[in-house]
Amino acid sequence: MESLEGFWEDTEQASKIQKEKAILEDVVEVYNGLKTLYDDFNTLVEFAEEDPESAGEAIETYETFIKAFEAAELKVLLSEEMDPNNAIISINAGAGGTESCDWAGMLYRMIIKWCEKKKYKLSQLDYQPGDSAGIKSVTLMAQGSYAYGSLKSETGVHRLVRISPFDSNARRHTSFASIFVSPEVDDNIDIQIEDKDVRIDVFRSGGAGGQSVNTTDSAVRLTHLPTGIVVNCQNERSQLQNKLQAFKVLKSRLYDLEMQKLKEKNQAVEDSKSEIGWGAQIRSYVLHPYKLVKDHRTNFESTNPDKVLDGDLDGFMDAFLRWRVQKDD
């Protein structure tokens, strides 16, 4: 077909079109699946008066339809422009040394577990280990359908209450760490970054990455002076690759900031800039003296923190999306 000639010559544009095509195909598939279940249910109801087995099948079909409908409803809630995009996730320990670094490491594991369940591809862009345990900061990218739309619920300060494993007197401690999630944006999004607005620092890579990574000053830190946004990238093998990746992350962060301003919903951004401590938390994880995870925006709760920390976040994410819709109305 002539219309397809040269289609793959522009790989970036072709990739974008393929992504849009996959999203539309998914919408059609969801609709057709719901319609099939609906039609099957009505047919089974008609037969149910004369065939008891049809009545049982009708109930099973109805239950399947409800689950499928709820899943489709969730996708409707993921209707913002950037929701289908990949997600860039930054996790930072708050004040408190080892306690907060360990908590940041637990959140890192929680996000990884959730992404693995969704079969998202994960790539680590930067990793700063804690001095004794956990992490000081980490930046990673989750690649998959609606990664950003789902993970944006995690942006904010997370609070942990537990008996500290690092306290020989077994006292209760409160720790804080923050998560910031922004969408990966492509080159079609016009975000202007002036050279004079960015300070570029080069340093020696550390932490995970292999011995070969540590032999040169390949790590890159970008500081966007007007906003104070700082981006580190060190996991690529060359300074140029780290610089390109860092600018991609910075561009995504700036895009997200602009969208928040346009919608007058910059609370998540303000949370990410505020002190990681009391009064700023979006969610509390209490492991002692009782067990409870509570989201302070939606009031959604779980009495099984271990399950939540193993990546069971769907309930919190669903509650957040519904809360956002109600907040907008």
- How many structural domains comprise the chain? 2
Six-digit token pair at 36? 């099939």
Contacts for 162 with CB less than 8 Å, ≥ 6 apart: 172, 173, 175, 286, 287, 288
Residue 245 lies in a domain: yes
Among 48, 77, 106, identify where a domain stops.
77
Domain coverage including residue 261: 87-328
Q: How far apart are CA 322 and CA 268, in angstroms?
A: 16
Residue 185 lies in a domain: yes
Residue 5 lies in a domain: no
Residues 23 and 162 in one domain: no
Residues 64 and 192 in one domain: no
Q: How far apart are CA 201 and CA 292, in angstroms?
A: 42
Residues 92 and 72 in one domain: no
Query: What is the predicted pLDDT for the residue at 329?
Result: 62
Residues 17 and 139 in one domain: no
DSSP 8-class letter at 189: S
Query: What is the predicted pLDDT for the residue at 275?
Result: 59
3-state secondary structure of 301: strand
Residue 283 lies in a domain: yes
pTM: 0.72
Q: How far apart are CA 178 and CA 188, in angstroms?
A: 30
Residues 67 and 115 in one domain: no
CATH number of 323's domain: 3.30.70.1660
Residues 66 and 135 in one domain: no
Residue 2 lies in a domain: no
Residues 131 and 39 in one domain: no
Q: Which residue has the tokens 């999004």?
A: 189
Query: What is the predicted pLDDT for the residue at 136?
Result: 95
Among 24, 52, 77, identify where a domain stops.
77
DSSP 8-class letter at 205: -
Q: How far apart are CA 307 and CA 293, in angstroms?
A: 10
3-state secondary structure of 48: helix
Query: What is the predicted pLDDT for the residue at 203?
Result: 85
Within a 10 A sphere around the Cβ of 231, how many other Cβ atoms? 24
**What letters, b where the CB count within 10 A reaches 16 and e where it falls short, cover 118-139?**
bebeeebbbbbbbeebbbbbbb
DSSP 8-class letter at 264: T
Averaged pLDDT in 10-residue chunks for the chain of 329 residues: 64 76 83 94 90 90 92 83 91 91 97 97 94 93 93 96 89 94 77 89 65 62 92 87 89 82 52 56 95 97 98 95 82
Query: In whole angstroms, how far apart are CA 39 and each of 28, 35, 46, 61, 64?
Result: 16, 6, 11, 10, 13
3-state secondary structure of 298: coil
